[in-house]
Amino acid sequence: MGAPDLEHRVGSKLGHVDSHKLDHAPPRPSTTGDVDADQLLENLGYKSELVRSRSTLHVAFMSFVLAAIPYGLATTFSYPLVGGGPVDIIWGWLLVSAIVLCIAASLGEITSVYPTAGGVYYQAFMLAPPRYRRIASWVCGWLYVVGNLTITLAVNFGTSLFLVSCINVFEKEPGVGVFEGSSYQVFLIFIGLTILCNAVI
């Protein structure tokens, strides 16, 4: 759904698009529960349609999987180790973790105010100045899609290289692995992993 459709949908639900209302968050319910969440969505101009069946633990583990922490560490660990050594790794990890926590807290607060399935593109529309709402939400939405596709494919490709390396732990002679792992073979493994992941999901 594009930004113009989003504006029309919000406007049709509220009667008309009032820029003053769109610039401010809707009132938060005073209690908790699905009923209050439904009321909050109604305040945003939406009707609740999705089933809320995931617990906090489910969401936490989904976030861990999406972050691909083991993959990220394995593929980039050598750069700070060679460039700065253990001190660089430890303090860099702590500093970046603090920055990421600030970003996570900000996104969590924004999401709690605008808890819609549209996610970031809807939030960009609501938070951007009225003049730039459409282009901001359009750019944000497409960057989010491209980013997710790129990350997923990068993880699958890294996993392909990891599998080839695991196989070549076994050697047919000193320094020569049992699997050649040429470019087309790695690519075929990558395609197979991508198909498998999509089939499972």
Q: Give me 2's structure tokens.
A: 């594009």
Domain of residue 125 covers 118-200
Both 193 and 124 in one domain: the answer is: yes
**Amino acid letter at 34?**
D
Average pLDDT of span 139-149: 91
Both 123 and 182 in one domain: the answer is: yes
pTM of the model: 0.60
More confident residue, 194 or 155: 194
In a domain, 41, yes or no: no
**Sign for the pseudo-dihedral over CA of 166, 170, 171, 174:** positive
In a domain, 19, yes or no: no
What's the pLDDT score for residue 30? 41
Q: Taking 70 as the threshold, does the pLDDT of residue 188 lie above it?
A: yes
What's the pLDDT score for residue 120? 86
Q: Taking 50 as the threshold, does the pLDDT of residue 26 lie above it?
A: no
What's the pLDDT score for residue 201? 65
Q: Give me 176's structure tokens.
A: 């020569």
Q: Which residue in 116, 146, 144, 131 sits closest to 6, CA to CA?
A: 116
Number of domains within the chain: 2
In a domain, 129, yes or no: yes
Which stretches within 45-182 are classed as H helix?
Answer: 56-67, 69-76, 78-83, 86-113, 120-127, 133-167
In a domain, 163, yes or no: yes
Alpha-carbon distance values, 200 to 8, 105, 195 (Å): 36, 32, 9
What's the pLDDT score for residue 94? 93
Q: Give me 22's structure tokens.
A: 């769109």
Both 75 and 149 in one domain: the answer is: no
Q: How far apart are CA 125 and CA 113, in angstroms?
A: 13
In a domain, 70, yes or no: yes
Q: How far apart are CA 65 and CA 54, in angstroms?
A: 15
In a domain, 184, yes or no: yes
Hey, which of 3-17, 73-87, 167-181 has the most confident mean pLDDT? Answer: 167-181
Q: Taking 50 as the threshold, does the pLDDT of residue 100 lie above it?
A: yes
What's the pLDDT score for residue 138? 94
Strand partners, 177: 171
Q: How far apart are CA 82 and CA 20, in angstroms?
A: 53
